[in-house]
Copies of this chain bind each other. A is one copy, B any other.
Amino acid sequence: MLEHRIDQRFTVTYSYPVCFTRKAFSPDNPVLAELMRMPEQGMKARALVLIDSGVAASRDGYIESIERYAYAHRHLFELAHPPVAMRGGEAAKHGLREVEPIYDLVREMRICRHSYVVAIGGGAVLDAAGYAAATAHRGVRLIRMPSTVLAQNDAGIGVKNGVNWYGRKNFVGAFASPFAVVNDFDLLASAPSHVRRAGIAEAIKVALIRDEAFFAQLHQQRFELADLAPHAIEPMIVRCAQLHLAQIRNGGDPFERGSARPLDFGHWAAHKLEELSQHRLLHGEAVAIGIALDTLYSQHIGLIDGAAVDLVLDTMRDIGFVLDDPVLDELDLERALADFREHLGGLLCITLLKGIGEGIEVDRIDMAAMRECVARLRVMRQAVQAVRAASEVST
């Protein structure tokens, strides 16, 4: 019945730099402007700048500093429109509500595929603005300037973007690599402390599955990380970004067509906990709980011992993560695993730990055992507190 068949096959190379800098909009900082330099002599790039309202609100004169920067580098690029503020946090990802006005701006300001959308903000703003940039004209150039720890070490440096759809996280999105990423360490101060701290969860995650030495460093510096000391936070961001980028580059499946999702360690529960808490839990806070759960489960099925579990959970607690959030009581395990499998597609594939720094993938979860792990997590802090209280009494 097949009369003729043509097998189409081609490859596409994706490349982008991730630059770490400070005071990106100081007029004498060339990093951002040079990224936009056009190869054609005398041609000037055009940029549409979108800013997280949270970032704009936290810094006096920030929008003016961008305008001054554009003026200082006017031989390289021009602003197509004054910088536009976008709702920050998960509100940015409420369906296509924040995406459609960006299409209108791209259309009205005549932004083309060789122009730039520069998105400044936390992961949610970058996800929504990135989705708009990936789909307007089938893709205009996107420069991400992540403002949070989580966005600088994970969400803002990779190839994913998207928005939520009727509460389903990242349901509508695309894989698209940015044109460039500019991580400005000085932007981190725009976020409140608990938001900055939450981003450390992704570093713990990638250290646990990939890099024992990095985990040892995080453990050693846990109190400095808890204090958000720049000398601990900044190298943590660079190392975490390196590991995430290496996984995308070398993992063999950057656009996730197969079933494996090694970087999603702890994420099946995390996604659902975020939804159930109606985003009271930040993504990183939910990931920490998810890591705790899958670490306990790894012990339960004999992959790691109790000492490893204590090391992981104590490190996270000392950094400031709360692992026994009451929303755990509402977690429907079957549903959470089914939704995770369905969003990723293919067979269920869950990453567990077979050691500190070593992930392993499994294709089934014993629900009764996982339920026990949830229960252990819920009572564990009470137990920890009781032990501490007892030891304080006895001293």
Contact = CB atoms under 8 A, between A and B. Distances in A.
Given A112-B341, A345-B115, A21 B1 contact: yes
A50 B304 CA distance: 48
A1 B22 contact: yes
Contacts of A231: none
A302 to B, nearest CB: 27
Given A107-B168, A257-B113, A8 B342 contact: no
Interface stretch (A131-139, A286-294, A322-330, A382-390): A131-139
Given A103-B165, A257-B113, A248 B3 contact: no
A253 to B, nearest CB: 9
**A: interface residue count bin:** 35 or more
A12 B30 CA distance: 32
A242 B257 CA distance: 26
Copies of the protein in its oligomer? 2
A6 B112 contact: no
Interface string A327-358: 00000000000000111111100000000000
A101 interface: no
Interface in A159-183: 160, 162, 165-166, 168, 170-177
A243 to B, nearest CB: 11
Nearest to A160: B138
B21 A15 contact: no
Given A11-B11, A112-B342, A6 B136 contact: no
A119 interface: no
Contact of A346 (B11, B113, B139, B343): B113
B12 A345 contact: no
A340 to B, nearest CB: 10
A256 interface: yes
A6 B245 contact: yes
Q: Is the interface of A mostly helix, strand, loop or mixed?
A: mixed
Nearest to A19: B5
Contacts of A260: none
A245 B8 contact: yes
A40 B363 CA distance: 13
Contacts of A254: 10, 12
B10 A249 contact: yes
Contacts of A9: 13-15, 249
A31 B1 CA distance: 7
A140 interface: yes
A18 B6 contact: yes
B241 A6 contact: yes
Nearest to A341: B112
A96 B96 CA distance: 10
B174 A344 contact: no
Contacts of A341: 112
Given A135-B135, A343-B137, A7 B3 contact: no
15 contacts: A1-B26, A2-B19, A5-B19, A6-B17, A6-B241, A7-B17, A8-B17, A11-B11, A12-B12, A112-B341, A113-B256, A113-B344, A114-B259, A137-B345, A174-B174
Given A6-B245, A7-B16, 4 more contacts: A1-B29, A12-B255, A107-B165, A138-B162
Interface of A: 1-23, 26, 28-31, 40, 96, 103-104, 107, 110, 112-115, 134-140, 157, 160, 162, 165-166, 168, 170-177, 185, 238, 241-242, 245, 248-249, 254-257, 259, 341-347
Closest 4 CB pairs of A and B: A113-B345, A112-B345, A9-B15, A4-B20
